Chains A and B, each alone.
Chain A
């Protein structure tokens, strides 16, 4: 059986679903038999979920807004570009 250390090294690949079938089975079996590694696996999934949640919150309330001046400049460029195309 693989060691716990090997399990933690492979856990990223396991979560990504990129391990070959045989190794995937070994990982599954290890996690089934080893509570510590099962906890570790779950925590790594929790971390990914929490970061997803952080992303959700940032989408609802962005951390920072574009400075008004930049927005104004970009809008000007955008307008120019659109106008330029419509008169071509």
Chain B
């Protein structure tokens, strides 16, 4: 927060270096978030660009009640929703906001028997936190798995886990209920876990 306050002060004073640094810091994350709302790369870039214009325009009204990052992400998501509403019949904004999330949580049902006991128990991930090379390899799998998630799950996972935002902030940005957000987050994490399990296990070994 104090970091933010300092940056905001410089931005409001017209510090161009600070503004450039702000773009550098958030651009990639904004593109990633934009990609959860729109289907192609150029629409995502366009959305991010538009977001920056609004940020510039509204900078002097930013009061620091939220984190700067959260505020920027919120602007992006709002713009995406506005655009979607007005362009609903056109193609590039084909989005995923109505993706149904009410399918049963049991994408793992086949791993349990009729009594709900593990039939195919979770396999060890062999994740040694001290081993940097291994961790890098894991992170590559994590990223690939995240890229494969349905858009809304991806957005939830990205905001909560990757960006470290709170559930309140995430709900606000994604315009979903808390319960909904938890479902999205849980499903996203569960799928990533499964990918890691498939990709990186050494069968028969026990996690230390």
Contact = CB atoms under 8 A, between A and B. Distances in A.
Interface of A: 3-6, 8-9, 11-13, 16, 18, 36-37, 39-40, 42-44, 46-48, 50-55, 57-59, 62-66, 70-71, 74-75, 77-79, 81-83, 85-86
B56 A47 contact: no
Contacts of B138: 50
Interface in B156-198: 157, 161-164, 167, 178, 182-183, 185-186, 189-190, 192-193, 196-197
Contacts of A65: 24, 27-28
Contact of B182 (A13, A44, A81): A13
Given A36-B122, A63-B28, A75 B16 contact: yes
Interface in B116-140: 116-118, 121-122, 124-125, 127, 135, 138-139
Query: Chain A contact residues: over half helix, strand or loop, or mixed?
Result: helix
Contact of B121 (A39, A54, A74, A82): A39
Nearest to A3: B116
Given A50-B196, A54-B162, A81-B56, 20 more contacts: A5-B106, A5-B108, A5-B112, A8-B190, A13-B186, A39-B124, A48-B161, A50-B138, A51-B146, A51-B157, A54-B146, A62-B27, A65-B28, A66-B27, A71-B20, A74-B19, A75-B16, A78-B14, A78-B19, A81-B57
